[in-house]
């Protein structure tokens, strides 16, 4: 088992009632920093996102209590477990899409309030399991984030074409109505859009759920490559422990409505 310095802070012991344990075994990978078990592009000493003492309740029922997690640049963490255990709710609460939580979410050491919600949502991007595209062409959907007042970047068709191609979507589809795409194509467009806005953190809810088996492996490969190359932190919800092992450095297994065991 690898013994990296940052793993001591990657996950902190959950404060629980004795119903759930917490331990880790990192994947056996070597990153650019040269540490066995690291897949971090040499950036493992930094913390990108910290979820601290985070509790989530829905309709008065606690899902998570005092949940702690640290995400580092260039690393991918999986949330695994059966349906109905709160994985998607946790992602949505961290992103601020739903207000049902207490505790802190720190982006590079600053709370969401200190960062400012527009800036936080620009830097921490949530990709839903169900592709969300508006009426209009693929290009219009991809260009939409650049029309917001808070956007500081210009839309680049060349960059868009490159990203689409990397995720297996022909750039010729840019002028196609988004509604005419297959579910798998829509999902790949949404993932490409997430990278296009240059976030610091990706929150991905079943990102390959709408894809066939052949496309899954291709998209997985690009996800890992682009996350590592750009030095992003990624938190991924998946039902597949096999996929989690293929993609991620650390796996958080969630059972029984928020009971957590970290395994790899």
Find residue 205's DSSP bridge partners.
Answer: 237
User: Could you tell me how many residues make up the chain?
Assistant: 264
Model pTM? 0.80
The confidence score (pLDDT) of residue 202 equals: 98
Q: What is the pLDDT of residue 8?
A: 31
- pLDDT value at position 154? 83
| Spatial contact of 205 and 48, defined as CB atoms under 8 Å apart | no
- Those residues of the chain that have pLDDT short of 70 are 1-45, 149-151, 256-264
Give the pLDDT confidence score for residue 144 in this predicted structure.
92
**Which CATH superfamily is 22-32+41-259 part of?**
P-loop containing nucleotide triphosphate hydrolases (3.40.50.300)
Q: Where are the domains of the chain?
A: 22-32+41-259
Work out the angle at residue 233's Cα, subtended by the Cα atoms of residues 229 and 237, and round it to the nearest 5 degrees: 120
Query: Phi, psi (5° rounding) for residue 225?
Result: -60, -50
Which pLDDT score, from 0 to 100, does residue 35 have? 42
pLDDT in tens, 156-176: 999 999 999 999 999 999 999
pLDDT digits (tens, 9 = 90+) for 214-231: 899 999 999 999 999 999
pLDDT at position 259: 56
């Amino acid at each position: 088992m690898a013994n990296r310095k940052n793993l001591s802070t990657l996950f902190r012991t959950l404060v629980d009632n004795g119903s759930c344990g917490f331990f880790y075994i990192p994947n056996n990978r070597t990153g650019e920093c040269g540490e066995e078990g690291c897949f971090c592009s040499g950036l493992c000493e930094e913390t990108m996102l910290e979820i601290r003492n985070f509790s989530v309740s829905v309709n008065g029922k606690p899902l998570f209590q005092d949940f702690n997690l640290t995400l580092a640049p260039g690393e991918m963490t999986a949330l695994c477990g059966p349906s109905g255990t709160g994985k998607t709710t946790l992602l949505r609460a961290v992103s601020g899409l739903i207000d049902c939580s207490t505790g802190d979410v720190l982006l590079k050491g600053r709370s969401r309030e200190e960062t400012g919600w527009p800036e936080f949502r620009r830097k921490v991007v949530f990709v839903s399991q169900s592709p969300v595209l508006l009426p209009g062409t693929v290009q219009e959907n991809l260009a939409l984030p650049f029309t917001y007042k808070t956007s500081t970047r210009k839309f680049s068709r060349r960059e868009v074409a490159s990203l689409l191609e990397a995720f297996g979507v022909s750039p010729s589809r840019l002028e196609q109505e988004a509604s005419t795409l297959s579910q798998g194509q829509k999902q790949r467009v949404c993932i490409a859009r997430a990278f296009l806005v240059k976030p610091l953190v990706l929150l991905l809810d079943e990102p390959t759920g709408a894809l066939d088996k052949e496309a899954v492996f291709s998209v997985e490969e690009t996800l890992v490559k682009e996350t590592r190359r750009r030095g992003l932190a990624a938190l991924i919800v998946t039902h597949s422990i096999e996929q989690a092992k293929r993609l991620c450095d650390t796996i958080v297994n969630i059972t029984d409505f928020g009971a957590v065991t970290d395994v790899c």
